[in-house]
Amino acid sequence: MVLGRLRSWGVGVVVLGLAGGGLPAVAAPADRTGERTVTLITGDKVKVAGGNVTVEPGSGRRGLLFSTERTRDQLYVVPSDVRGAVAEGKLDRRLFDVAGLLRDGFDDRATSSIPLLVTYKGKQRAALPGATATRALPAINGAAVTVAKGSSPEWLTAVGKIWLDGKRQISLDRSVPQIGAPTAWRAGYTGKGVSVAVLDSGIDATHPDLAGRMAGAKNFTADPDGDQVGHGTHVASTIAGSGAASDAALYDGKVCETGGCPESAILAGMNWAATEVRAKVINVSLGGSDTPDVDPLEAAVDRLTEQTGALFVVAAGNEGPKAGTITSPGSAQAALTVGAVDKQDQLAGFSGRGPRAGDGGLKPDVTAPGVAIVAAKARDAVIGDPVGSDYLSLDGTSMATPHVAGAAAILAQQHPAWTAPTLKGALIGSAAPAAEPTAYEQGAGRVDVARGIEQSVVLESGNLSFGTASWPHDDDVPITRTVTYRNFGAQPVTLALSAVLNDPAGNPAADGAIALSANTITVPAGGSVSVQATANTRHDGPDGLYSGRLAATAGALRITAAIGVDKEAERYSLTVKHLGLDGQPYPGETRVHSLDQDVSVDTWDKSTTTLRLPKGEYVIAGGQQTEGPQYYRMVHAGLQLTKDTTIVLDARTTKPIRLTLPRSDARLVVGDVGYHRAAADPSRQIGLNELFTDQSQIHVAQVGPAVAPSVMTGWIATQWGRPGVDGDFRNTPYLYAPVHTTPGRFPTGLTRTVRDRDLARVDQTINATSDDALERTLSAGTGNGSGFVTPGIRFSAPTTTRAFLEPGFPWVTGVFTIDPDGRISGVGSDRRTYRAGTSYAERFNAAPFVPAPVLAQRTQDRLRLEVTPTGDADGNRGRSANDAAASTLLRDGVKVAESRAFGFVEATGLPAEPASYRLETTQTRTSSFSSRTDLTWTFTSAATSEPTQLPLLGVRYRPQVDGRNVVRRTRMSTVPIVIDAQPGAKVPPLRTLTVHVSGDAGRTWHPATITPTTAAHYQATFETPPGNHISLEAHLLDSTGNTTTQTVINAYPLG
């Protein structure tokens, strides 16, 4: 998007997101979490409030293109001047994932700096002005640094790579006997003399199980020493104390804080454990998403293993049961990667599965118990299910990993000279495979240290991973791997070798798919022998993951290795060519996104890009930038890749955007050209908004045929106003919001003369509650869950402004303020659709502000209630910043749920039989309007098979207020009343309605006379009491016995 410094224009740019497949029912003020801001490394600010996103370019960055893209749980906002570095991997893409930055606590309220990992180019150490080095990271030839937000450092291209110093997550009795540890103990092997480092959340050294086991500790985090989470202590006691290697010497490398595990801390901890402590075994029960590239943590594991011989035992992650869910750094080649089984040796559903991203490598290596593991509870633990006062039960590959680390310590005590490759091979070779799981699910099988200590022959080469054989397979060349057996015994051993391989369905693979160079070998005492294993994918068997076992036996001796072969499924070459305005090759950017697989590829500054991709459907988006700047965007909405294909993105096919407004003084506030493409799997849908403030710069085109309108919508949406003398749109007297959509296609230009009669005219009056400026948004979107860009324009209230809106679209108006803490107060309309040539009048922010029902629903054993506290007199729902709030739900007088929010509570596990329920909710706030609000609702509910609405009612008042929400004092007051139900529900008949009024903030109350007028409408008449404010208390009883009692203190002022 081409975007100026919009905040200096009195404008914020808001992108409505893909929220639940539709537009939000209430505008931004309904968001419970308030506004959060993230300043990107480029100095640009992104503000998020619920489903709304505001982009503010940094100083001097007017005219850049900012692409806003949503996929799965990510929200990427990438400026055009760094797209190339992101696409080439020089800048970590996570630096621009706003959703991820918020999840990990990198918003501006939490931190004023951005933590980075930088790698140097060779031995050169570039100067990094403006950066503060926090620690050297020799394991990656780099350093951890912090950069002040907003500084937009100029050295971004002076270093090798820049990564976000992100946060990994800790990967949340019969288990020790299950791996054979008692047999090792009886043989005298308890890990004595072996140093084991635990890189985790810290260790509570005061726990009785760990007393005397701690050999050293170092804290790499900003948190205090010790374990404030409980994870590291649990892991440590599974290794030592009452764990597998009870006499191992533990080193506590605290790398995880309460909010996650900074990657710089993990890297520093790895280096400390391997090079300073010189630990024999290093337990790493944490991880994060893996990518095809080698990330800093993977690189550190591989480098430190080679340099020091330390064995890194790493969790496979808890992202199963899907394939390809191994997390990093468990994805490192040198790591001994551990999956999880339960106490019956059944693979845990959460356990991460292979193959490894990028190369189809075989992971995990082994499994171990990781379900319902009971181990030490740290004094300050906040996780797990307590078992007594000193222990916790936890699930996860985090729990499986220390079992293997303990087993490795036992072997290291038995064989002090063994280093990582031998320890890893011994644990793999002695593992016990289960019958059903594949090699990509369990590796070699569940660790069996009892067998490990007895076997004198070790598989030094580990599991057999043949990687990926590229499709098609009629020209495949056999792949050979060397398998090495080493005999540490005093006598030669003759091994019988056999290999089995199964196809993706579990049937025996075709003849010749796996072959050995020998069926029998003799390994001399103290020596080694190698054989060749050859995988041949040139056969008629199905494509996919082949899995098997290599077994070497000699009497009771059994050495196993997992075999993995990825016979690549059908793939084709996709070539994307960019042609410029002269018809010649032109460097451009290309984005290829799969709609049915986990494939997404970016390239930058290339006139031709060739990719090898799985058969399937893809969206292809391309862009070119020329002098001016001028931007050319082209989108292919749905390519079915079933053969080698070339797509040409020709800038000459694009057309400009040219809108002519009926008013000569109208100027573009913001424009949005974008699309939303649905997918059968909603997690693979993709949406793009590109924002611009100068329509003459933008040229767009659809490439290829259209797709079904039900799966694709393109759009060009603009909003126009009248700027002041400084170019500021504040208090613009009008706003035009024409929208053009292209179902099934991306737009190919637009030429339109906008006329008043083609739009709906909406006059909006905005009342004031203070002297602070308000922000007004007019948001719309498509029916498939996409939102157009809308500016938030500031107004001095009270005011009346006119909007000309595109008919046929659901529009949502929001009127709100944001306090210094980012908390939102205001109101928002429901979705409203307008007709062309029709005039409408609306009012917002009119007192009094009272509770408004949003949702009351029962489904089976679940009950959810939501009421907004400060809806206005015209039925616009709203929320506000408050000083205190609470909600409680009681069932037959017993509390079943509560929250610290007004009007929101959710209960699960409720009994099916009918019962009496009572919601009590309250809020106080510092305001001249509705300073305290109390609501009590009683009702009867029982389990229902389908979602069922409950009769939650609100009482809304409509006194005659002026623009500043003041009611003129008269001797007698008449106040219209409206009874509201939740959206989509009908108001039931009422048995009684009573209203009391107070002029002294509720100290004394006086009854009002109630007169019905029309359906669900009444009128309250009362003698106006002394005082400056009117407080209102209502009680109603409906025809089925449900009640609502609502009290609003200082509902409106008198003047």
Q: What is the mean pLDDT of residues 817-830?
A: 81
Query: Has residue 532 got a pLDDT over 90?
Result: yes
976 and 881 both lie in a single domain = yes
Query: Has residue 34 got a pLDDT over 80?
Result: no
pLDDT at 2: 26
Q: What confidence tier does 71 reach under pLDDT thresholds 50, 70, 90?
A: low
559 and 600 both lie in a single domain = no
Tokens linked to 825: 């107060």
Query: Has residue 128 got a pLDDT over 80?
Result: no
Torsional sign, CA 457, 460, 463, 464: negative
Q: What is the mean pLDDT of residues 563-586?
A: 95
**Strand stretches in 295-431, DSSP E:** 311-315, 336-341, 366-369, 373-376, 385-387, 391-394
Half-sphere exposure of 460 (CA within 13 A, CB side): 16
| 485-489-494-495 Cα dihedral, nearest 10 degrees | -40
Query: Has residue 242 got a pLDDT over 50?
Result: yes
888 and 818 both lie in a single domain = no
Tokens linked to 701: 């085109």
Between CA 286 and CA 460 the distance in angstroms is: 26
Q: What is the mean pLDDT of residues 675-682?
A: 92
- Please confirm whether the linkage preceding 798 is cis (ω < 30° from 0): yes
Identity of the amino acid at 155: W
pLDDT at 468: 93
Count CB atoms within 10 A of the CB of residue 655. 13
Strand partners, 731: none
pLDDT at 23: 24
Strands 760-766 and 750-753: unpaired
Between CA 288 and CA 87 the distance in angstroms is: 20
Between CA 859 and CA 864 the distance in angstroms is: 9
Q: What is the mean pLDDT of residues 785-794?
A: 79
Count CB atoms within 10 A of the CB of residue 482. 12
980 and 999 both lie in a single domain = yes
Identity of the amino acid at 1046: Q
239 and 361 both lie in a single domain = yes
Between CA 13 and CA 773 the distance in angstroms is: 17
Q: What is the mean pLDDT of residues 228-251?
A: 92
pLDDT (tens digit per residue) in 731-779: 999 999 999 999 999 999 999 999 999 999 999 999 999 888 899 999 9
Asked whether the beta carbons of 547 and 439 are under 8 A apart, the reply is yes
pLDDT (tens digit per residue) in 462-493: 999 999 999 999 999 999 999 999 999 999 99
Number of independent structural domains in the chain: 5
Between CA 360 and CA 381 the distance in angstroms is: 38
- The answer to whether position 48 is within a domain reads no
Report helix, strand or coil for 1007. Answer: strand
- The answer to whether position 32 is within a domain reads no
Tokens 């909405």, residue located: 637
pLDDT (tens digit per residue) in 365-389: 999 999 999 999 998 988 888 888 8
Asked whether the beta carbons of 850 and 1051 are under 8 A apart, the reply is yes
Q: What confidence tier does 169 reach under pLDDT thresholds 50, 70, 90?
A: low
Identity of the amino acid at 685: Q
Query: Has residue 862 got a pLDDT over 90?
Result: yes
607 is catalytic: no
Q: What is the mean pLDDT of the chain?
A: 90
Residue where one domain finishes, among candidates 141, 165, 189: 165
Report helix, strand or coil for 878. Answer: strand
Q: Given its phi and psi angles, is residue 181 left (phi above 0), alpha (psi -120 to 50 degrees) or beta?
A: alpha
231 is catalytic: yes
Q: What is the mean pLDDT of residues 664-684?
A: 92
Identity of the amino acid at 609: T
For the domain that residue 347 is a member of, what is the CATH number?
A: 3.40.50.200
Tokens 């996570």, residue located: 94
pLDDT (tens digit per residue) in 927-985: 999 999 999 999 999 999 999 999 999 999 999 999 999 999 999 999 999 999 999 99
Between CA 843 and CA 872 the distance in angstroms is: 9
Point out the catalytic residue in the list 165, 171, 227, 231.
231
Smallest Cα–Cα separation from 884: which of 924, 935, 934, 932? 924
Give CA separation, 1016 vs 852, 980, 1037, 1043, in Å: 15, 8, 13, 15
Between CA 44 and CA 41 the distance in angstroms is: 7
Query: Has residue 426 got a pLDDT over 80?
Result: yes
Query: Has residue 15 got a pLDDT over 50?
Result: no
Share of the chain above pLDDT 90, in %: 71
- The answer to whether position 1009 is within a domain reads yes
Tokens linked to 108: 């501006």
200 is catalytic: yes
Give CA separation, 1051 vs 10, 797, 882, 895, in Å: 31, 19, 15, 30
Identity of the amino acid at 121: K
Strand partners, 351: none
Share of the chain above pLDDT 70, in %: 93
- The answer to whether position 516 is within a domain reads yes
Strand 571-579's sheet: what is its strand order? 608-614, 571-579, 645-650
Q: What is the DSSP letter of 400?
A: H
Smallest Cα–Cα separation from 298: which of 258, 239, 357, 221? 357
Tokens linked to 576: 């994307």
Half-sphere exposure of 468 (CA within 13 A, CB side): 18
Between CA 851 and CA 1045 the distance in angstroms is: 11
- The answer to whether position 420 is within a domain reads no
Point out the catalytic residue in the list 200, 252, 365, 503.
200
Strand 113-119's sheet: what is its strand order? 131-137, 142-148, 113-119, 161-164
- The answer to whether position 26 is within a domain reads no
Residue where one domain finishes, among candidates 817, 844, 871: 844
Backbone angles phi, psi at 184, to 5 degrees: -65, -40
Q: What is the DSSP letter of 508?
A: B
Residue where one domain finishes, among candidates 844, 875, 898: 844
- The answer to whether position 66 is within a domain reads no
Backbone angles phi, psi at 79, to 5 degrees: -70, 150
986 and 872 both lie in a single domain = yes
Torsional sign, CA 326, 328, 333, 334: negative
pLDDT at 16: 39
Q: Output 529 or 24, whichever has higher pLDDT.
A: 529
507 and 531 both lie in a single domain = yes
Q: Given its phi and psi angles, is residue 764 left (phi above 0), alpha (psi -120 to 50 degrees) or beta?
A: beta
Backbone angles phi, psi at 768, to 5 degrees: -110, 145
Strands 281-284 and 195-200: parallel
Spatial neighbors of 822 by CB under 8 A, at least 6 apart, are 34, 35, 36, 37, 109
Strands 544-554 and 588-594: unpaired
Strand 990-998's sheet: what is its strand order? 894-899, 884-891, 915-924, 932-941, 1043-1053, 1029-1038, 990-998, 1006-1007
Q: What is the DSSP letter of 378?
A: P
838 and 854 both lie in a single domain = no
837 and 986 both lie in a single domain = no
Count CB atoms within 10 A of the CB of residue 526. 11
Between CA 134 and CA 732 the distance in angstroms is: 49
Q: What confidence tier does 163 reach under pLDDT thresholds 50, 70, 90?
A: confident
890 and 948 both lie in a single domain = yes
pLDDT at 785: 62
Backbone angles phi, psi at 671, to 5 degrees: -125, 160
Asked whether the beta carbons of 1033 and 1005 are under 8 A apart, the reply is yes
348 and 383 both lie in a single domain = yes
Backbone angles phi, psi at 354, to 5 degrees: -85, -175
Strand 286-287's sheet: what is its strand order? 261-262, 167-170, 286-287
For the domain that residue 470 is a member of, what is the CATH number?
A: 2.60.40.10
pLDDT at 10: 38
Q: What confidence tier does 1021 reach under pLDDT thresholds 50, 70, 90?
A: very high
- Please confirm whether the linkage preceding 524 is cis (ω < 30° from 0): no
Backbone angles phi, psi at 790, to 5 degrees: -140, 135
Smallest Cα–Cα separation from 748: which of 655, 887, 878? 655
Q: What confidence tier does 111 reach under pLDDT thresholds 50, 70, 90?
A: confident
Smallest Cα–Cα separation from 636: which of 690, 594, 599? 594
Q: What confidence tier does 817 reach under pLDDT thresholds 50, 70, 90?
A: confident
Torsional sign, CA 657, 663, 667, 671: negative
Report helix, strand or coil for 755. Answer: coil
Asked whether the beta carbons of 842 and 873 are under 8 A apart, the reply is no
pLDDT (tens digit per residue) in 707-729: 999 999 999 999 999 998 888 89
Tokens linked to 428: 């793999």
What is the domain extent for residue 709? 2-19+571-844
Q: What is the mean pLDDT of residues 76-93?
A: 81
Between CA 847 and CA 851 the distance in angstroms is: 12
- The answer to whether position 212 is within a domain reads yes
Query: Has residue 5 got a pLDDT over 80?
Result: no
Q: Output 355 or 604, whichever has higher pLDDT.
A: 355
Smallest Cα–Cα separation from 949: which of 979, 988, 899? 988
Q: What is the mean pLDDT of residues 627-642?
A: 93
Q: What is the mean pLDDT of residues 397-422?
A: 96
pLDDT at 28: 30
Between CA 967 and CA 980 the distance in angstroms is: 23
pLDDT at 62: 64
695 and 561 both lie in a single domain = no
Q: What share of the chain is helix, strand, coil (3-state, %, to 5)?
A: 10, 45, 40
